[in-house]
Chain A
Amino acid sequence: MTALQLVALVLTALGGAAVVLTPDPLRQTLVLGIYGLVLTFLFFTFQAPDVALSEIVVCTVGLPLIILAALRKIRRQDRGREQDGEE
């Protein structure tokens, strides 16, 4: 095992824990994006550039975008309900 692979494995373990331990969903999404980059690095050091190429877009653009859109929708609905309650 090379030093780079070892670094990638350690970073993956730390990154995964960081994602789980982040409490606020909005921040969690950003941490998840960074974790995606760490995973990309992991795949690259383990000689899987094909997977790394998919991972870099799916985990840093694709997934966060969907989660952020869903979070915004939920917030808007909550706000709408509060306004309905006041009327």
Chain B
Amino acid sequence: MSRRFRLGLFALAGPGLAVVLLLGMHGLPAFGHFRGLYGVLANRLEPPLRHATDIVTALNFDLRAFDTLGEEFILFGSVSGVALLLRQLRDEHKDERNRDVADHRFADASDALRVTSLILIPLAFALGAYVVVHGQLTPGGGFQGGVVLAAGPIAILLAGRYFALKALAPAWALEALDSIGAGAYALIGLGGLIFASVYLQNFLPLGTPGKLLSAGTMPLNSLAVGIEVTGAFLLTWTEFLDQALIVERGAR
């Protein structure tokens, strides 16, 4: 397709799309005036019924806990797919003694960058852990905390120690985290089936609203998701970085 042909096509389709969009938006409620009842009901029902103060987490792990189960396994499946696609092929080998990577000459890390990374690691761990365990109380939860937790070890890469990152988070451990987290969420659901005769039903004591251990199974769900997301993200990143830094073409 030539540039002129594409521009001509856009000149025809663009105004059409604009007209349809404008017609569609004409009937929308005004800004900030949502007519649905769902949000209002969730806000009213969840705090007294489940003792959770963050309604988004309550939606994820209680009202729509089954959707979250699906999302868990979408993440699990896609990360498995990445690991499968980026596996070491027969005509490739791992250059573990790649001097560029070992000495970190590939990014020219300065001392200032190394010190900053060192400070970032504990901060990311602390923030990530906080966000995971306070999911039912304040904004955040398993997914959000999990990605922060996963970003912590990546600071080691910034500091120029990719092999140290690989030693701290070996592939088998990340695979285990990913699987254990996904499995734990499904098992917590099974607990609901056993103790409350409904899959994913809240079956633990609800506790005092606003306390760390409140809202029944929600903190456990949050922890399971947090573990899975940490493993999943780190596994994806290290698979990509392995390919970029140490996997070479040609059999050894």
A residues adjacent to B (C-beta < 8 A): 1, 49-50, 53-54, 57-58, 61-62, 65-66, 68-70, 72-73, 76-77, 80
- Residues of chain A with a CB closer than 8 A to B236's CB: 66
Task: With A66-B236, A68-B244, A76-B244 given, name 14 new contacts (CB 8 A).
Answer: A1-B32, A50-B54, A50-B144, A53-B131, A53-B139, A54-B147, A57-B144, A57-B148, A61-B151, A65-B240, A65-B241, A69-B241, A69-B243, A80-B249
Q: Which of B143, B144, B233 has the most CB of A within 10 A?
A: B144
Query: Are the C-beta atoms of A73 and B151 separated by less than 8 Å?
Result: no
Contact A70 B249, CB 8 Å, known A50-B139, A61-B154? no
Report the minimal beta-carbon distance from B109 to chain A, rounded to whole angstroms. 15
Task: Convert B23-46 into 0s and 1s, putting 1 for each residue whose CB lies closer than 8 angstroms to a CB of A.
Answer: 000000001100000000000000
B133 CB-CB contact with A under 8 Å: no
Query: Are the C-beta atoms of B147 and A57 separated by less than 8 Å?
Result: yes
- Residues of chain A with a CB closer than 8 A to B141's CB: 50
Report the minimal beta-carbon distance from B77 to chain A, rounded to whole angstroms. 17
Query: Are the C-beta atoms of B143 and A54 separated by less than 8 Å?
Result: yes
Query: Are the C-beta atoms of A65 and B143 separated by less than 8 Å?
Result: no
Query: Are the C-beta atoms of A66 and B147 separated by less than 8 Å?
Result: no
Partner of B31, one of A1, A57, A70: A1
- Residues of chain A with a CB closer than 8 A to B151's CB: 57, 61-62
Query: Are the C-beta atoms of A77 and B244 separated by less than 8 Å?
Result: no
Report the minimal beta-carbon distance from A13 to chain B, rounded to whole angstroms. 15
Pair count A-B, CB < 8 A: 54
Chain B residue, CB-CB nearest to A75: B244
Query: Are the C-beta atoms of A53 and B144 separated by less than 8 Å?
Result: yes
- Residues of chain B with a CB closer than 8 A to A68's CB: 244
Chain B residue total in the interface (Cβ 8 A): 25
Partner of B237, one of A49, A66, A76: A66
- Residues of chain B with a CB closer than 8 A to A49's CB: 139-140
Report the minimal beta-carbon distance from B64 to chain A, rounded to whole angstroms. 14
Query: Are the C-beta atoms of B140 and A50 separated by less than 8 Å?
Result: yes
B182 CB-CB contact with A under 8 Å: no
**6 interchain residue pairs of minimum CB distance:** A49-B139, A69-B244, A53-B144, A69-B240, A57-B147, A72-B244
- Residues of chain B with a CB closer than 8 A to A65's CB: 154, 237, 240-241
Partner of A66, one of B54, B56, B143, B240: B240
- Residues of chain A with a CB closer than 8 A to B245's CB: 69, 72
Report the minimal beta-carbon distance from A6 to chain B, rounded to whole angstroms. 11
* A61 vs B147: C-alpha distance when bound (angstroms): 9
Report the minimal beta-carbon distance from B76 to chain A, rounded to whole angstroms. 17
- Residues of chain B with a CB closer than 8 A to A73's CB: 243-244
Instruction: List 22 A–B pairs whose Cβ atoms lie within 8 Å, in order of A's numbering.
Output: A1-B31, A50-B57, A50-B139, A50-B140, A50-B144, A53-B139, A53-B144, A53-B148, A54-B147, A57-B147, A57-B148, A57-B151, A65-B154, A66-B236, A66-B240, A69-B237, A69-B241, A69-B243, A70-B244, A72-B244, A73-B244, A77-B249
